[in-house]
Structure 1
Amino acid sequence: MVRERPIVLTPEGKAALEQELEQLRHVKLPALLERLQQLSNEGDISDNSEYEDTKEELVLTEARIREIEHILRRAQMVAHTGPGDEVRLGSRVTVIDDEGVTEHWVIVSPEEANAAQGRISIESPVGAALLGKRAGTTVVVKAPGGEIRLTIQRIE
């Protein structure tokens, strides 16, 4: 029997997934179904690339809906009790690299990771290197592009 790992979400991550699910169910899915109906009413769909693209987008949208539903069913909320002295799931971390560039990240589960929004996974090279460390600590991250040295400035 395969045992699935627990899914732990931050309150913000859970809210974002719930919002995405609502948008997919009530806006995107109906729009795709309506577009498919329009395209099929226009005539021959056997060689219609727009119809095929819309059908593919519908399949991907339905798959994402099922994925989010699965995540939310199994999700546990992170017990965030305010600022801690170590980086943990849900921590807001400020780091500075060797070139003096400061970055702010929230450490999250893979299901809510989004680097563009400053939310990095505990399973990413950076997230894994920071986990369990204290402010003032310098970590070396082995990334695909080489090693990066980061100093933890603040943990919230």
Structure 2
Amino acid sequence: MSDTQYLSRDKYTELEKELVTIKHETIPEIAKRIDEAKQMGDLSENAEYNDARDQMAWAQSRMKEIESILQSAQIISDDDLKFGVVGIGSTIVVEVAGREKEFTIVGAQEADPLIGKISNESPLGEAFLGRKKGETVEVEVPAGVQKYTLLTIK
């Protein structure tokens, strides 16, 4: 994975909001639960304490992960797209095995193949970066090599 995290403005904002929530709501709530659990006595057999501690570790880890993503983020906008060339943020229509499929090339943080968002770091995403309408690429998939022809770049 590259050091730069390519994000849409919406994803960047979503991560910022999640970070604020973790810092100002989640962590203080968990800290309060830890303090309350400590009041119950013996910490070695205190399930509430252990659970809260585990949740705190997760929240702190997620907070650091989001901070790292935001720090290395490059926001992709329509202005970044080159006319006629596939890049991050491009929506493409391809023909594969006689059928048309639509994909949007996104950064790894936003990838969701079930809704047609493929990572620029995936084999398919990498194969299309820099390509133009009409070009055909071959991509190694579990079933073997698959040919994709680029029909449209939006």
Q: What range is the shorter-chain TM-score in? A: 0.7 to 0.9
Unaligned runs of 5+ residues in structure 2 are none
Q: Once the 2 structures are TM-superposed, how far is the Cα of residue 145 of structure 1 from its aligned partner? A: 5.0
1:4-153 aligned within 5 A: 5-78=3-76, 80-81=78-79, 84-98=83-97, 100=99, 102-105=101-104, 107-116=105-114, 118-144=116-142, 146-153=144-151
Partner SS, residue 94 of structure 2 = strand
Aligned residues: 152
Answer yes or no: is the 8 Å Cα contact 1:83–1:91 preserved in 2: no
Structure-2 change in CA distance of 1:69 and 1:135 (3 Å): same
Answer yes or no: is the 8 Å Cα contact 2:9–2:77 preserved in 1: no
CA RMSD of aligned residues (A): 2.9
Structure-2 change in CA distance of 1:18 and 1:41 (3 Å): same
Q: Whole-Å Cα distance in 1 between the matches of residues 100 and 33 of structure 2? A: 47
Q: Whole-Å Cα distance in 2 between the matches of residues 60 and 91 of structure 1? A: 34
Q: Once the 2 structures are TM-superposed, how far is the Cα of residue 83 of structure 1 from its aligned partner? A: 6.8
Unaligned runs of 5+ residues in structure 1 are none
Q: Whole-Å Cα distance in 2 between the matches of residues 45 and 153 of structure 1? A: 63
**How much identity, in percent, do the aligned residues show?**
33
Q: Whole-Å Cα distance in 1 between the matches of residues 94 and 28 of structure 2? A: 43
TM-score (structure 1 length as normaliser): 0.73
Greater CA radius of gyration, 1 or 2? 2
TM-score (structure 2 length as normaliser): 0.74
Answer yes or no: is the 8 Å Cα contact 1:33–1:58 preserved in 2: yes
Q: Whole-Å Cα distance in 2 between the matches of residues 148 and 50 of structure 1? A: 52
Q: Which amino acid aligns with 2:96?
A: D
Q: Which amino acid aligns with 2:101?
A: T
